Amino acid sequence: MAKLAVIKIRSDINARQDVKNTLRMLGLTRINHCVLVDDSDSVLGMLQKVKDYVTWGEISSDVLKRLLAKRGRLVGDKKLTDEIVKDRLNFPSLAELAAAVENEEVKLEEIGVKKVFRLHPPSKGYKSIKRSVRDLGDLGYRGEKINDLLLRMI
């Protein structure tokens, strides 16, 4: 199973309560927040329910490494560095941690890394936060193109 990156790009004000609850269960409480989820049937059902508020796709290993290095935070809002990864988390480097997360050998929450990544708005902006990716917008499933958006937001 691949890891999916899910980014909230639209506010849930005036949304139905079940949509708000699903976003909260995913851990997406604010705009431009990103979470990593597994590619399971239950998660895909949740994403279909909130497809008008988020975008998602398969994250590549090099983008995952950059996301952990730049935006990864420990509890207490401490940055994730190679020294901390070696001392506290028992991984040789940040790249090894990213590979372990990608291969689902370890979960971020279990080792004390916050599951929410706070991102900047994308450089050059969104195309449209009211249209799906198929209709030349930004909402919904975008596959490998999520990596381009993440690089613009890191």
Q: Supply the range of the domain harboring residue 135.
A: 1-154
**CB-based contacts of 143: which residues, under 8 Å, 6+ apart?**
57, 58
pLDDT at residue 119, as a whole number: 97
pLDDT of residue 1: 60
Is residue 53 a contact partner of residue 19, using CB atoms and an 8 Å limit? yes
Decide the pairing of beta strands 140-141 and 54-58. Answer: parallel
Q: Which CATH number is 47's domain given?
A: 3.30.1390.20
Report the number of distinct structural domains present in the chain. 1
User: What's the CA gap between 66 and 46, in Å, rounded?
Assistant: 27
DSSP designation for 118? E
Q: Take residue 10 and report the two structure tokens written for it.
A: 């639209």
Residue 111, pLDDT score: 84
Per-residue pLDDT tens, the chain, 154 aa: give them: 678 999 999 999 999 999 999 999 999 999 999 999 999 999 999 999 999 999 999 999 999 999 999 999 998 899 988 888 888 888 898 889 888 888 888 888 888 889 999 999 999 999 999 999 999 999 999 999 999 999 999 9
